[in-house]
Structure formats: structure tokens, C-alpha cells
Amino acid sequence: MSHQVSVWRAAQLVGVARGVLQQRVRAGELVLSDGMVSTDALLRLYPGVQFEESGLLERVAQIRDEAFGKRVRERMLPSQEVLAQRLFAQSHELANVRKHLQRYHGLVIALQRRIRDLAAQRCGDGAWRELEQQVTRGLAQALATESVDLLEVMDDMLKVMTAQVTVRPSGHEFAVEGHADLLQSGLHAGLKLNYGCGNGSCGMCKARVIAGEVVKTRHFDYPLSEAEKAQGYTLMCCHTAASSELTLELLEAGGPLDMPEQHIVTRVHAVTVLAPDTRLLHLQTPRSHRLRFLAGQSVSLGWTMPGQDAHAAYPLASCPCDDRNLHFFIERNEADTLARHLFANDISPGTAVTVLGPTGEFVLADGHRSLVFAACDAGFAPIKSLIEHALALDAAPSLSLFWLATRSDGHFLSNQCRAWSQALDQFEYELVSHADATVGARQIAQAMRVDLFDIDCDFYLSGPPGFVSTLHGELRAVGVAAAQIFTQVL
């Protein structure tokens, strides 16, 4: 009998993006039954699937390899307590199945004997003889050794190593790997979870356990009331999944308006030269006060220099899943005080920088369309954040990036684009160079027309006013709906 798995798990098993499988479901190539996929149907669609493609064997080999050491095993495997609970649950399920099989086997053997007796008593009745032969043949087939369902084996193994969490009422799903807590895991999967301190003090990450079990990962001070405990409430930042499957009820942020304004004093962790005219400013928040934001948003940075206080807004270039390490791309610009001080090496590791925000509505829209990103120079910052978020969500069938450089070192992270492209089948990119941002925008529009206009896509444009308005106009002129174009003017 075919084994049933969720779309989320199916994508893990065959090693493709969830968005790709969802697209095949919408195209009618894969049929869902109660939201589940049969492993038979999956194997028909991906007949060549091997353990290697899911990355499972690699992960098992890494865990066995002593050279990787304790830290790697901790990252990949849950704690011994959690492993023991999951193995116990699987063994319990296996024991139940075995018990039922033994009972069915006993029942079939008794029926076979009875039919044989009746066939012997009524030797003139061919129907009894035929029924006896049918039961004997069926029993032999059932007892014969058949090749196992490979995907079922992989699914069972993943259930021990990685828990699957389903969120109600949104239906979102995410995986919990290693020692990660529920909050970290949900953020890494791109979910817009509600939270505050991240360390068990504020209670904002409260969620109700509907099914499955959780286990505490760290001490927390927030006092859950007796009524909340009785209803199954838990703190996501201080618990992980103990069972292989967990269902939580919680409220997720809907959009930028749900992001609270935050004021955080961070420290400069590093200033890295990305190109002669571009620096990466890496700020780190205190452990107990991290920045909650959505990919694509900006913040205001404030700092004190001898004789002056300065502040300016910058888009975040990093992913909300790492809410402690905040990245910004700063271009050389004499009119920009922060840039001037940064390029004069006045801002060094340890400097205090206040972060106020987040602001901005240049965030990913909900949906399952393919995504097209276009950036000009350091307009790549919010685009990088959006791409990382989209990759974490794993919901878009494909992602395309067009990046215009108006100066010779404008593609300062082309190695990052190459790495995405090599690692991900659904990501492709094109680098365009032209000193004039308006002409470059037209070149990008031309390249998009060649590649993408037969696809229903959402477009995200970021860069200087001339670049964004020209590209927006070109897209509208060829019939792209205004609701499918999102812009960030820098």
C-alpha cells in the first residue's frame, strides 16, 4: 500500500523546492488527497529519486564522520532526550502495526484451514476448491519479500532526525533540526512569527500545542499561568519539538504594519571592503534585544561622532532569520555622513550604532508566483534580503535576478549570485553593466521580455529613481499588472 506524505515532506524526499511541487500540483501532474501525496505518485513523477538527491545519506555520513565532531552532530541531530522520545514513538507505532499484522495473519490462516476443510467435505463443489486456491495464492504473495518503498524509509528516517511543525490557522509548515528551538526554526523557514526578547522573558512568542509534544531547551522567566499551561501554551523561544510531528496554534504577523517600532543600541561587529566603493557594515544587537523585521525593510542608523550626532535610513541586506546580525551595504558618498566616516575608517568594531525601525513596505507578497528581482548597484541590499527570505520560504517555483552595475565594481557580490545559482535549480541571474541607470533599466526590461514574459511573475525593483521608474514603465507597457510590481527607491 502506498505511503502518504505532506507536500512539504515530499519536497524534502525528492530534493526539490516546495514551490516546484506545488506548481506540479496546480498543473494536475500530482494529485493531492486530503493535502497528502502518495509516495507511488511521487516516484512516478521522480522515478530516478535516490537517497543522495534528498541529501539524507550525506547527512547521515556527516553525522557518522568523527572528524565533524560534536558541534556538527549537535547541529544536525536533536538532543538524546528528544531522539529517545521520537524513537520510542516510532517503536510504539511499529509494535502496534506488528501486533495487528500477527492478528490478521492468524485470522487468514484460520480461514484458510476452514475453507480447506469445506473444500474436502464438498469435493464436488469447485467453488470451494477455487476459493481455497485463491486464499493460498494471496497468502503466498503477502508473505513474499518485496522491495521496500524507498521514500517511506526516507520519511521514517527524517521523522527521527527532523521534526515537522504545522502552524494553525495559516497551514504553514517548518522543520526543526538539531538543537534549534521552535522560534529559531520558524524564523529560518521564513515565517513572520510574533516574538520579542527571544530569551523567555516577554511571553510574546506564546503558542498553543494542538498535537504532539514539546520539550524545554532553556530556562525561562516568563510566568505562564496555570490556565495557559492547562490549555497547552508554550514559549517557542524556550522549547523544541519532542515528537516527530507537532501542530501549533499561533498568530503570525500579516505585514509591515504588525512590526513594532524598536530602538536598539547595537555595536559594529565588522566593516568589510566589498569593492573599492562599497563597504559591508555588520552590526550586532545585544543577545537579549534583537531586531524583528521583515525582509526588504529599512532602519534608521544613528551614531555619535565628535561634535555631531548623525542618522540616516538604510535598507537591511540580511535575512530576518538572523535577527542579531544586521548587514548594510554602504556606498562611497561624500554627501552621506555615515558613508564619509566609514570610508575614512572613523567607524570601527565596537562603535555604538543605534537602530530605529523597521520601516518600509517593500516586502514579499503572499502567493505562489515566480519571483523576478531587479537591482541597481547597492539597491541589491533589500533584494538580497528578499531573495534569502524567498529561499527560506521555498514557495516560489523560480527566482530570477537582474543586477545592473553603473560602475566597474558595482557587482560587488556576484560570487553570492553564482553560489545561489550553483546550489539551486530554481535560481538564475543575469549581470548587466551600463553607466546610465535608465539605459541599463531598458536593457534589463529587454532581457526580461526574452526570458520571462510568458510567466506569471511578481516583480521587485530596487535602485535609484531613474532605474526604478524606467523599469516600472517598461513592465507596465507590456501588460504587467501594477499589483505585481513592487518598488524601492533609494
SS3 (DSSP) at 353: strand
Looking at beta carbons only, is 174 or 402 nearer to ligand FES? 174
**What's the closest the beta carbon of residue 181 comes to ligand FES, in angstroms?**
9
User: Dihedral (C-alpha) 83, 89, 93, 95: value to the nearest 10 degrees?
Assistant: 80
Q: Tell me the three cell numbers of residue 114.
A: 476452514
Task: Establish if 8 lies at the interface with ligand FES (CB under 6 A).
Answer: no
Of 121-129, 191-199, 211-219, 423-431: span binding ligand FES (CB under 6 A): 191-199
Phi, psi of 10 (to 5 degrees): -60, -40
Q: Which of 89, 187, 205, 347 binds ligand FES (CB under 6 A)?
A: 205
Indicate the residue type of 185. S
Are 162 and 176 contacting, i.e. CB atoms less than 8 angstroms apart?
Answer: yes
Of 199-207, 271-279, 367-375, 424-432: span binding ligand FES (CB under 6 A): 199-207
Task: Establish if 196 lies at the interface with ligand FES (CB under 6 A).
Answer: yes
Looking at beta carbons only, is 105 or 218 nearer to ligand FES? 218
Binding mask 138-177 for ligand FES (x = CB under 6 A): ----------------------------------------
What spatial distance separates the first Cα and last Cα of the chain, rounded to whole Å?
57
Q: Which of 157, 202, 224, 270 binds ligand FES (CB under 6 A)?
A: 202
**What's the closest the beta carbon of residue 260 comes to ligand FES, in angstroms?**
12
Alpha-carbon distance of 230 to 246, in angstroms, equals 17
Q: Which of 49, 175, 204, 461 binds ligand FES (CB under 6 A)?
A: 204
Task: Establish if 186 lies at the interface with ligand FES (CB under 6 A).
Answer: no
Task: Establish if 201 lies at the interface with ligand FES (CB under 6 A).
Answer: yes
Q: Which of 197, 259, 401, 444 binds ligand FES (CB under 6 A)?
A: 197
Q: Tell me the three cell numbers of residue 206.
A: 506564546
Of 19-27, 189-197, 324-332, 449-457: span binding ligand FES (CB under 6 A): 189-197
Looking at beta carbons only, is 186 or 212 nearer to ligand FES? 186
Of 38-46, 202-210, 272-280, 388-396: span binding ligand FES (CB under 6 A): 202-210
**What's the closest the beta carbon of residue 21 comes to ligand FES, in angstroms?**
32
Of 95-103, 198-206, 453-461, 468-476: span binding ligand FES (CB under 6 A): 198-206
Task: Establish if 387 lies at the interface with ligand FES (CB under 6 A).
Answer: no
Q: Which of 195, 328, 362, 427 binds ligand FES (CB under 6 A)?
A: 195
Q: DSSP for 426-443?
A: TEEEEEEE-SSHHHHHHH
Looking at beta carbons only, is 68 or 222 nearer to ligand FES? 222
Task: Establish if 360 lies at the interface with ligand FES (CB under 6 A).
Answer: no
Task: Establish if 293 lies at the interface with ligand FES (CB under 6 A).
Answer: no
Task: Establish if 190 lies at the interface with ligand FES (CB under 6 A).
Answer: no
- Measured over all CA atoms, what is the biggest interatomic distance in the chain, rounded to whole angstroms? 113
Q: Is the dihedral of CA 389, 392, 396, 399 positive or negative?
A: positive
**What's the closest the beta carbon of residue 394 comes to ligand FES, in angstroms?**
24
Looking at beta carbons only, is 183 or 281 nearer to ligand FES? 183
Residues 6+ apart with CB under 8 A from 323: 187, 198, 285, 290, 291, 292, 293
User: Binders of ligand FES: how many residues, by CB under 6 A?
Assistant: 13
Task: Establish if 237 lies at the interface with ligand FES (CB under 6 A).
Answer: yes
Give the sheet arrangement for strand 298-305, strand by strand: 308-315, 298-305, 352-359, 262-275, 278-284, 325-331
Strand partners, 272: 280
**What's the closest the beta carbon of residue 194 comes to ligand FES, in angstroms?**
8
Are 219 and 257 contacting, i.e. CB atoms less than 8 angstroms apart?
Answer: no
Burial of 3 (0-12, 13-18, 19+ CB in 10 A): middle
> CA 327 from chain center: how many Å?
20
Burial of 290 (0-12, 13-18, 19+ CB in 10 A): buried
Return the ∠ at Cα 11 (arms to 10 and 16), rounded to 5°: 145
Looking at beta carbons only, is 197 or 339 nearer to ligand FES? 197
Task: Establish if 222 lies at the interface with ligand FES (CB under 6 A).
Answer: yes
Task: Establish if 235 lies at the interface with ligand FES (CB under 6 A).
Answer: yes
Task: Establish if 299 lies at the interface with ligand FES (CB under 6 A).
Answer: no
Task: Establish if 315 lies at the interface with ligand FES (CB under 6 A).
Answer: no
Q: Which of 19, 190, 200, 296 binds ligand FES (CB under 6 A)?
A: 200
Q: Is the dihedral of CA 323, 280, 311, 466 positive or negative?
A: negative
Q: DSSP for 46-115?
A: STT--HHHHTHHHHHHHHH-GGGHHHHHHHHS--HHHHHHHHHHHHHHHHHHHHHHHHHHHHHHHHHHHH
Q: Tell me the three cell numbers of residue 469.
A: 521608474
**What's the closest the beta carbon of residue 268 comes to ligand FES, in angstroms?**
25
Neighbours of 122 (CB within 10 A): 12
**Interacting residues with ligand FES (CB under 6 A):** 195-198, 200-205, 222, 235, 237
